[in-house]
């Protein structure tokens, strides 16, 4: 498989400590917001450190995840996504998820905010609402995911506060207007060891070129790498793992919100290692019933930017975020959607 040229370069790495420190000075907070603004304009991707998440938590989560994916398929299928119905939680095998209409070479587990049986949206059968499916083995995976979700909520809220400041908005603007009851989704993905194609060419894609749907993704990845980010001028950058660093990227709804000032950048994944690769994307998105406005920043829009990679105009969409997300996920798991 041929591939556009890879370019030298690294993502900007931003210390978000001042956004999490109530005692941080206004200049320090402003400096972080300025750096976030530059990264959002230039790449739509940036690394963050100073987030305060314990390294041992990620180590334990990786260990438990490897244990789960090493299980026989009949044991993993005890929490298959079909068992969760419209909640769309649980495990899926390699090839069951589609990206840009193409089967991914990965397996994974879907998690989300825990909704009790008497939650109004669970009672009404609303998609993506319900209880998580926790594996019996390893028993520690469920509690680790629970703790991870709490930590990622804290980190993502802080980053969105910095983005609000970067846009000239009050720091709490997102929490007040868009993420007052955020849609939180978490995935653990396992990319099998690389296999050579029949013609001796490159390995197949773990995830094809795509952009994320919502506001903000916070990604932890293992030491193997494999994430590639498209560059505005053409070509791709390999995102090399850095210990203690999470990768943040913007989703389509942030592009809509900013009327193109910030762009949702295409990315893709390929595992070229002889070992299985793990990644942990956390999606912090608008509330289910929220509508996403277009901010009045016409003097700084992305009108001079080239057409999006997929030709889609995200500013043309209108309606509730939950309806938008449901339509998107139905394309990712068409068979599961048809069964519900």
Q: Is the dihedral of CA 332, 259, 112, 319 positive or negative?
A: negative
Query: What is the dihedral angle through the alpha carbons of 333, 337, 339, 340, rounded to the nearest 10 degrees?
Result: 140
pLDDT band of residue 6 (cuts 50, 70, 90) is very low
Residue 275: enclosing H or E segment and its boundaries?
Answer: none
User: What is the architecture of the domain spanning 13-339?
Assistant: Sandwich (2.60)
- Tell me: pLDDT of 329 over 50: yes
Q: Are 135 and 142 in contact (CB under 8 A)?
A: yes
Residue 201: enclosing H or E segment and its boundaries?
Answer: none
Nearest to 268 by CA among 22, 70, 1: 1
Q: Give 204's DSSP letter.
A: P
In tens, the pLDDT along 161-205 reads 999 999 999 999 999 999 999 999 999 999 999 876 533 334 478
In tens, the pLDDT along 94-115 reads 988 878 777 889 999 999 999 9
pLDDT band of residue 3 (cuts 50, 70, 90) is very low
Give dist(CA 50, CA 17) in Å, integer. 5
In tens, the pLDDT along 57-73 reads 999 999 999 999 999 99
Give me the phi and psi of 117, to 5 degrees please: -60, -25
Query: Parallel, antiparallel, or unpaired for β 246-250 and 45-49?
Result: antiparallel
Question: Average pLDDT for residues 293-304, to the nearest whole number?
Answer: 62
In tens, the pLDDT along 111-170 reads 999 999 999 999 999 999 999 999 999 999 999 999 999 999 999 999 999 999 999 999
Output the pTM of the full model.
0.92
Count of beta carbons in the 10 Å neighbourhood of residue 146: 13
- Name the 3-class secondary structure at 160: helix
């Amino acid at each position: 498989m041929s591939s556009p040229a890879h370019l030298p370069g690294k993502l900007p790495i931003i210390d978000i400590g001042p956004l999490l420190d109530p005692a941080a000075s206004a200049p320090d907070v402003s400096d972080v917001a300025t750096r976030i603004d530059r990264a959002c304009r230039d790449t739509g991707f940036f690394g963050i450190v100073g987030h305060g998440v314990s390294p041992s938590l990620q180590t334990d989560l990786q260990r438990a995840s490897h244990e789960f994916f090493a299980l026989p398929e009949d044991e993993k299928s005890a929490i298959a996504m079909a068992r969760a119905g419209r909640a769309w939680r649980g495990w899926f095998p390699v090839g069951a998820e589609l990206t840009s209409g193409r089967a991914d070479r990965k397996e994974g587990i879907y998690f989300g905010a825990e909704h009790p049986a008497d939650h109004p949206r669970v009672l009404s059968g609303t998609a993506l609402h319900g209880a998580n499916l926790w594996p019996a083995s390893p028993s520690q995976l469920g509690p680790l995911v629970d703790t991870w979700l709490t930590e990622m909520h804290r980190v993502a809220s802080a980053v969105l506060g910095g983005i609000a400041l970067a846009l000239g908005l009050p720091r709490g603007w997102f929490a007040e207007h868009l993420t007052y009851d955020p849609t939180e989704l978490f995935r653990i993905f396992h990319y099998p060891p690389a296999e050579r194609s029949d013609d001796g060419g490159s390995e197949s894609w773990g995830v094809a070129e795509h952009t994320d749907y919502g506001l903000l993704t916070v990604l932890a990845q293992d030491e193997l790498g494999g994430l590639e980010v498209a560059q505005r001028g053409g070509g791709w950058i390999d995102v090399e793992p850095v210990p203690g660093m999470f990768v943040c990227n913007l989703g389509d709804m942030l592009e809509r919100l900013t009327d193109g000032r910030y762009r949702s950048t295409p990315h893709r994944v390929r595992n070229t290692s002889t070992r299985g690769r793990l990644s942990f994307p956390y999606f912090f998105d608008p509330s289910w019933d929220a509508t996403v406005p277009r901010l009045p920043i016409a003097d700084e829009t992305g009108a001079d930017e080239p057409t999006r990679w997929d030709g889609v105009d995200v500013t043309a969409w209108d309606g509730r975020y939950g309806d938008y997300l449901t339509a998107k996920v139905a394309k990712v798991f068409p068979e599961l959607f048809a069964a519900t």
